[in-house]
């Protein structure tokens, strides 16, 4: 079940520094939403605010409301681990657990959920690795260390790890920035397939990538260094890249700024 995400005035702080200011955004289920913008504009911070990973850093906190199917994940009595189990995340650099095998990496989320049954785990590993288009490459070496794979394979392993727990939403923080073009294409193909099952939000610096994979695009920017990041424009990807309403967006996508 993919879910709708609604941000109402989501603001994020690093100690006293306001990193993003009052982001309002509605992300539809089973769609791919790309967040683009110059470095330091707060798009990653916003992404991490969706699954409450922002607050992991010392001194970091959020304000506003973030609703997943109508429920505010910032409510005080919400179990943050339940939020994160519902929202999978893929990071900029592939980060499989270095001490774990490929198999153990994929099931690490299930283990945390208390799944112990071997047959269930075996099925989940195959399903997740097939879902991440990695099964054929690694099926014969599941007990081998995950860190021994190539960068692109590691990133797909991380995607498999994230989708193995069947989340409702998948967040991707520049998932291809450490990968070569071929691995990048594989991940982009994968995103198009995963869209049928999950709501996907992807942060990217690569505008061609945003144009290729996303249905909707949000453009973030800052006025000057030290100011909080704002959502300048949020619209259908085709509109953003052909006929943006804001001058700033146009300047950015045409390469005149950023």
Partner 1 sequence: MATTTGVPSPPAAGPGEGGSLPRKRPLGAEMLFRGTTTAAGTMVLVIIVAIAVFLIWQAVPALTDNDANFLTEENWYANDNPPRFGIAATAFGTVLTAVIALLLAVPVALGIALCLSHYAPKRVATPLGFIIDLLAAVPSVVFGLWGRDYFFEPVQGLSRFLHENLGWLPIFGSEGPYGKSVLLGSIVLAIMILPIVTSLSREVFMQTPAQNEEAALALGATKWEMIRTAVLPFGRPGIIASVMLGLGRALGETIALALTLGGVYKVSFDLIGPGGTSIAANIATRFGEANEVGRSALIASGLVLFAITLVVNMIARAIVYRRREFVGGSA
Binding interface with partner 1 (CB under 8 A)? 51, 53, 56, 58, 81-85, 88-89, 91, 93-101, 108-109, 111-113, 145-148, 151, 154, 158, 161-162, 165, 178
Shortest distance, position 181 Cβ to partner 1, whole Å: 17
> In the complex with partner 1, which residue's Cβ is closer, 5 or 253?
5
> In the complex with partner 1, which residue's Cβ is closer, 9 or 98?
98
Shortest distance, position 83 Cβ to partner 1, whole Å: 8
- Do residues 74 and 55 make contact, with C-beta atoms less than 8 angstroms apart? no
C-alpha closest to that of 89 among 161, 165, 162:
162
Shortest distance, position 165 Cβ to partner 1, whole Å: 7
According to DSSP, the residues that pair with 128 across neighbouring strands are none
Shortest distance, position 56 Cβ to partner 1, whole Å: 6
> In the complex with partner 1, which residue's Cβ is closer, 58 or 181?
58
CA distance 36 to 229: 12
CA distance 85 to 16: 29
CA angle 80, 110, 171 (to 5 degrees): 55
> In the complex with partner 1, which residue's Cβ is closer, 198 or 241?
198
CA angle 197, 193, 72 (to 5 degrees): 35
> In the complex with partner 1, which residue's Cβ is closer, 113 or 238?
113
Three-class SS of residue 98? coil
Shortest distance, position 88 Cβ to partner 1, whole Å: 7
The label of the residue with tokens 């790890």 reads 161
């Amino acid at each position: 079940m993919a879910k709708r995400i609604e941000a109402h005035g989501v603001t994020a702080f690093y100690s006293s520094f306001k990193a993003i200011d009052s982001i309002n955004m509605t992300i539809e289920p089973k769609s791919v939403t790309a967040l683009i913008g110059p470095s330091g504009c707060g798009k990653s911070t916003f992404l991490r605010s969706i699954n409450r990973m922002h607050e992991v850093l010392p001194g970091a906190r959020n304000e506003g409301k973030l609703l997943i199917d109508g429920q505010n994940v910032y409510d005080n009595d919400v179990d943050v681990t339940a939020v994160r189990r519902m929202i999978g995340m893929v990071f900029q650099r592939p980060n499989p657990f270095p001490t774990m095998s490929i198999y153990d990496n994929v099931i690490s989320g299930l283990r945390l959920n208390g799944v112990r049954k071997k047959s269930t785990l075996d099925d989940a590993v195959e399903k997740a690795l097939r879902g991440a288009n990695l099964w054929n490459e690694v099926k014969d070496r599941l007990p081998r260390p995950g860190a021994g794979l190539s960068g692109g394979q590691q990133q797909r392993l991380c995607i498999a790890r994230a989708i193995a727990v069947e989340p409702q939403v998948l967040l991707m923080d520049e998932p291809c920035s450490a990968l070569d073009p071929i691995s990048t294409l594989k991940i982009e193909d994968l995103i198009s397939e995963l869209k049928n099952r999950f709501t996907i939000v992807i942060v990217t610096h690569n505008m061609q990538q945003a144009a290729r994979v996303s249905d909707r695009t949000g453009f973030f920017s800052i006025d000057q260094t030290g100011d909080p990041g704002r959502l300048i424009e949020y619209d259908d990807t085709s509109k953003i890249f052909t006929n943006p309403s804001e001058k700033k967006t146009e300047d950015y996508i045409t390469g005149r700024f950023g």
